[in-house]
Amino acid sequence: MLLLTFALTIVAYLLGSISSAVLVCKLLNLPDPRTTGSNNPGATNVYRIGGKPAAIAVLIFDVLKGTIPVWGAYFLKIEPIYLGIIALATCLGHMYPIFFNFKGGKAVATAFGVLLPIGLDLGGLLIFTWLATLKFTRFSSLAAIITVTLAPFYTWLLKPIYTYPVMMLSVLIIIRHKDNIIRLLKRTEPKINNKLKI
């Protein structure tokens, strides 16, 4: 079991390391998201650079690369705590991709993908929380922070056995958003409809 977990963790990290934002931007002849806009290779920055179609493509791929390794491990009967490790590896791959000089995104969509195997009810709660926060604040980063903060609570209500792995993932995502948190506190964080390249 430990050997299988180790192998799946490596596969999860490598899959997470595939930066869809960079690849989609290259395919569509858009600027490199690592050096344009917020310099973050994620769906939100791609939306600012290339619009909705490009951002949706990035979003879908990033969700899938989170879902596939965790769902596979789930069907192989990997224990919940080890599922958490595999989920973390996927997100770390997105944040620090070996194929792209370890310069990655914040793994929000990928984190959503790794949480989907827990249940569609959890996925629905996460989507609702993100959309509601985004609608009222227009801050993509704040929507992500609030959603991942509530994720362990939602998990505890629905499937308590996965609470600790989800908590580990939430802490990782929040730490990754430290710069956004600072900008939110200083009121310098750009809103989703802000066209300024910050």
- What is the pLDDT, as a whole number, of residue 197? 38
- What is the pLDDT, as a whole number, of residue 196? 37
DSSP secondary structure letters along 60-121: HHHHHHHHHHHHHHHHTT--HHHHHHHHHHHHHHHHS-GGGTT-----HHHHHHHHGGG-HH
107 vs 18, 52, 59, 65, 76, CA distance in Å? 12, 19, 10, 11, 24
- What is the pLDDT, as a whole number, of residue 155? 96
Whole-number Å distance between alpha carbons of 55 and 19: 13
Whole-number Å distance between alpha carbons of 58 and 122: 22
Tokens read off for 70: 């965790």
The answer to whether 155 touches 162, Cβ cutoff 8 Å, is yes
pLDDT in tens, 48-89: 899 999 999 999 999 999 999 999 999 998 998 899 999 999
**Residues lower than pLDDT 50 in the chain:** 194-198
What's the predicted TM-score (pTM) here? Answer: 0.88
- What is the pLDDT, as a whole number, of residue 193? 67
Whole-number Å distance between alpha carbons of 78 and 72: 9
Tokens read off for 185: 């506190």
- What is the pLDDT, as a whole number, of residue 1? 76
